[in-house]
């Protein structure tokens, strides 16, 4: 069986070390990654799904905000990923957003971000660790629940911002104990899920690997559908 190809966007600064970890998760799930980024070739016709990865904060002008606590931005990447997310949703390409990627999915669909999320939700101490230290509750009946199960989940945290106003067609499907959004998903096809944490660093956890399997499964279904259409067109 051919492994579905997944385009993976990365930071120009840290992509060299993050992409191999993400690609390992995809390989374990039956897929294979292709590294993308601003200035790198990226062809949606050449992949079956995409991952919008983590990294720098998103420039607030993309969602009508003002420059606040964000001190490190990558506007070229912002533009590249916003266009990528919009087009992927329009074309029915499965999307997984990780941390910044979840925020970008929200922004691409018209949503906004909270630049002071930790203070908004009364958490004066910002938790930043790749270790699972934050408990989250998952919404009953959500796609995320079908993927990872209904039990409370412990995740990591490397973000400073969080989703505020929801983008069109998105629903919050996980929150931490303070109520901060931790995952969003599309209420209709295509598969589009954004998680605020970094499941790629938790590949030793069965429920985190299940997130990548869900993306690869959706990508495989799309690949099969495209192959069937191409075959019928030749007949």
Is pLDDT of 69 > 60?
A: no
Token pair in block for residue 105: 């999915």
- Assign residue 150 the CATH number of its domain: 3.40.50.880
Q: What is the domain range of residue 15?
A: 5-234
Tally of domains within the chain? 1
Give the mean pLDDT of 10-29: 91
pLDDT digits (tens, 9 = 90+) for 34-68: 999 877 778 999 999 999 999 888 989 899 887 66
The CA distance from 212 to 210, in Å, is: 5
Task: Please give the pLDDT value at position 68.
Answer: 64
pLDDT digits (tens, 9 = 90+) for 184-222: 999 887 899 999 999 999 999 999 999 999 999 999 999
Q: How confident is the model at residue 159 (pLDDT cuts 50, 70, 90)?
A: confident
Conformation bin of residue 51: beta by default, left when phi > 0, alpha when psi is -120 to 50: beta
Beta bridge mates, 73: 57
Tell me the three state secondary structure of residue 20.
helix
Is pLDDT of 124 > 80?
A: no
Task: Please give the pLDDT value at position 235.
Answer: 67
Q: Is residue 44 a contact partner of residue 34, using CB atoms and an 8 Å limit?
A: no
Residue with tokens 């295509």: 190
Give the mean pLDDT of 57-81: 82
Is pLDDT of 172 > 70?
A: yes
Sheet holding 5-9: strands in order across? Answer: 32-36, 5-9, 49-52, 95-98, 192-195, 181-186, 170-176, 129-138, 153-157
Residue with tokens 């990865």: 53
Task: Please give the pLDDT value at position 97.
Answer: 98
Token pair in block for residue 58: 């998103």
Q: Is residue 89 a contact partner of residue 44, using CB atoms and an 8 Å limit?
A: no
Q: Is residue 36 a contact partner of residue 95, using CB atoms and an 8 Å limit?
A: no
Angle, to 10 degrees, between the axis of helix 100-108 and the axis of helix 75-91? Answer: 60
pLDDT: which is higher, 72 or 184: 184
The CA distance from 192 to 91, in Å, is: 12
Residue with tokens 């990528």: 84
Q: How confident is the model at residue 71 (pLDDT cuts 50, 70, 90)?
A: low
The CA distance from 136 to 230, in Å, is: 43
- Could you give the residue numbers annotated as active site? 99, 198, 200
Give start and end residues of each alpha helix (H) in the chain: 15-28, 75-91, 100-108, 117-120, 143-148, 206-234
Q: Is residue 140 a contact partner of residue 190, using CB atoms and an 8 Å limit?
A: no
Task: Please give the pLDDT value at position 125.
Answer: 73
**Comparing 63-67, 80-84, 156-160, which segment has the lowest mean pLDDT?**
63-67
Q: What is the pTM of this model?
A: 0.94
pLDDT: which is higher, 69 or 175: 175
Give the mean pLDDT of 103-113: 97
Is pLDDT of 180 > 90?
A: yes
């Amino acid at each position: 069986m051919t492994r579905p190809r997944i385009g993976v966007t990365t930071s120009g600064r840290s992509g060299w070390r993050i992409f191999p970890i993400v690609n390992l998760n995809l390989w374990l799930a039956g897929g294979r990654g292709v590294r993308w980024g601003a200035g790198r070739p990226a062809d949606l016709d050449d992949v079956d799904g995409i991952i919008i990865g983590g990294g720098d904060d998103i420039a607030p002008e993309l969602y009508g905000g003002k420059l606040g606590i964000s001190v490190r931005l990558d506007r070229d990447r912002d533009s590249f990923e916003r266009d990528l997310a919009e087009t992927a949703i329009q074309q029915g390409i499965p999307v997984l957003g990780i941390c910044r990627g979840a925020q970008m999915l929200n922004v691409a669909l018209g949503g906004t971000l909270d630049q002071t999320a930790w203070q908004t939700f009364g958490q004066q101490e910002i938790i930043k660790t790749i270790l699972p230290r934050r408990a989250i509750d998952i919404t009953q009946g959500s796609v995320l629940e079908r993927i990872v199960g209904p039990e409370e989940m412990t995740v990591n945290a490397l973000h400073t911002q969080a989703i505020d106003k929801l983008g069109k067609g998105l629903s919050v499907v996980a929150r931490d104990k303070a109520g901060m959004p931790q995952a969003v998903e599309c209420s209709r096809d295509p598969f589009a899920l954004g998680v605020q944490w970094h499941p790629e660093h938790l590949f030793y956890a069965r429920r985190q690997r299940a997130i990548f399997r869900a993306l690869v499964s959706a990508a495989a279904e799309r690949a099969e559908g495209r192959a069937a259409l191409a075959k019928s067109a030749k007949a």
